[in-house]
Amino acid sequence: MRSSLFALAVALAVAAPAAAQPQDSRIFANINFGFQAQGQDFTQAAELPLYDETGNWEAAHSIDGGPFFEIGGGYRILRNVSVGVAYSARTGDSRDVTVNASVPSPIFTDTFRAASATVSGLEHTEQAFHVQALWHVPVTVEFDVTLFAGPTFFRVKDDLIVGVEPVEVGGDFSTVNLQSISTAEQKNTTTGFHLGIDTRYILMRNVGFMRNVGAGAMLRYSRGSVDLEAPAGSGAAPASIDLGGFEIGVGLRFMF
């Protein structure tokens, strides 16, 4: 898929008519609304010390793809080359997580009881700051295609399970419930990369102080990975989360 993006752009560059020249505009700004397709599953696990023995608990998380908003811009430094930046924010994904625990018995050694409970409303949000090098490929006077790539700086916030509290049920200690499941928001940053292709079609010229106003569509692949540490004392292992993925967006293009 990534190689296909560049193959398409190269084909367009070869086929571009000689009369199609880059626009006079040196400064441009883009606004996009779109969808990030990548979803993922990850698991938290931790020991559960109780009654001088050690049980454990495990929580399976599933994060879906979601919509994003982006604003960016750049400056043309050469005939077909620009530098730019873009900021994108993916809206929060709310999920339910089931915690399964193996709880030691207070009576019998090496005897464990199974218990589970579900916690709702855990949130995941991503923000990304893309630094871009852009290569513009004019196709007609009104339409051009842009290849872009560069580093991406990600910031992620995610709610993780940080504590499980079992409670005995009945008098024979044969059954146990999970009375309380504690969660906490964890944050981290990481550096990854992105590459993609953008299209732009001019709709109006000389609108106020803007030279051109257009519309366009964007396809981008970005990638990063981050470890989120659970709070000290929770006993939970770090959660490794992948960031970015394939994104498709549409929006407005402004040239100054």
pLDDT digits (tens, 9 = 90+) for 103-124: 999 999 999 999 999 999 999 9
Place of tokens 């009881």: 113
Predicted TM-score (pTM) of the model is 0.83
Architecture per CATH, 2-255: Beta Barrel (2.40)
- Quote the pLDDT of residue 24: 61
Question: Is the Cα torsion angle 149, 131, 238, 245 positive or negative in sign?
Answer: negative
Window from 3-7, 19-23, 32-36, 239-243 with minimum mean pLDDT: 19-23
Residue 54's alpha-carbon distances to 47, 77, 126, 236, in angstroms, are 6, 63, 35, 14
Q: Output the six-digit token pair for 83.
A: 């530098």
Q: 201 falls in which pLDDT band (50, 70, 90)?
A: very high
**What single-letter amino acid sits at 54?**
T
